[in-house]
Amino acid sequence: EPEVTQTPSHQVTQMGQEVILRCVPISNHLYFYWYRQILGQKVEFLVSFYNNEISEKSEIFDDQFSVERPDGSNFTLKIRSTKLEDSAMYFCASSERLTTEAFFGQGTRLTVV
Amino acid sequence: DQQVKQNSPSLSVQEGRISILNCDYTNSMFDYFLWYKKYPAEGPTFLISISSIKDKNEDGRFTVFLNKSAKHLSLHIVPSQPGDSAVYFCAAIRSTTSGTYKYIFGTGTRLKVLA
């Protein structure tokens, strides 16, 4: 069964450093998303991406964040200068159409120290 | 502004009985609703969805009911099994006038099915 894969599973970084979280969405999917879940809190929408551009982003997704689909298969989330409060589980998801279910990856646990 | 709310943070049900998970929303412009199940340290897994033009959708042990006038949806699991123990999130898709859209998740309900 096709699945969304994310690497790495766990990333530890120093505050102020840049991190890139990687995702390989399901191959025939056209819509891509990043979400995050701070420990013990709800799953929060960050950004959606379609046709090589951002469709929607939340207030969390500020100038420190960027997304890219560099090669037609990978979908990356970059945080330029990490803060302690960026520590969370980051989930990538993809969906075939706008109103179909999104399939989520296993997540990358980002720990900023 | 919490547009999708799950007011019960946790629920315990005996195996074999019905589990009813509730979700309320405030925005009447939502087009589509979904339920996801999440185990610890895993990504959410899609369970079942319903379009805003329907009031019921059934898939095996899972049934989702939508009451648009009350802005309320519920997930029924019958019969409940210990493997159903997880956190359940409802989610809503909202499209905007500019043609964009957003998934909005509720805060989750932790279901524990007791053997």
Close Cβ partners of B76 (under 8 Å, ≥ 6 residues apart): B18, B19, B20, B62, B63, B64, B65
Please give the Cα distance from A64 to B108 (Å, whole number): 28
Chain B interface test: which of A6, A42, A49, A59 (most B C-beta within 10 Å): A42
Please give the Cα distance from A33 to A44 (Å, whole number): 11
> What structural domains does chain A harbor?
5-108 (2.60.40.10)
Q: Above 70 in pLDDT, residue B100?
A: no
Chain A interface test: which of B100, B107, B110 (most A C-beta within 10 Å): B100
B4-114 belongs to CATH 2.60.40.10:
yes
Q: Above 90 in pLDDT, residue B61?
A: yes
Interchain CB distance below 8 Å, A48 and B105: no
Under 8 Å CB pairs connecting chains A and B tally to: 60
* Chain A residue with the nearest C-alpha to that of B49: A101
Q: Above 80 in pLDDT, residue A90?
A: yes
- Residue A3, min C-alpha distance to chain B (Å): 11
Q: How far is CA A108 from the centre of its chain?
A: 9
> What are the CA-CA distances from residue B52 to residues B49, B91, B96 (Å)?
10, 12, 15
Which tens digits make up the pLDDT trace of B83-93?
999 999 999 98
Nearest to B84 by CA among B109, B51, B58, B54: B109
Interface membership of B43 toward A (CB under 8 Å): yes
B49 pLDDT band, cuts 50/70/90, is very high
Interface membership of B105 toward A (CB under 8 Å): yes
Interchain CB distance below 8 Å, A102 and B103: yes
What pLDDT is stored for residue B107 in this prediction?
Answer: 86
Which tens digits make up the pLDDT trace of A35-74?
999 987 888 889 989 888 898 888 899 999 999 998 878 9
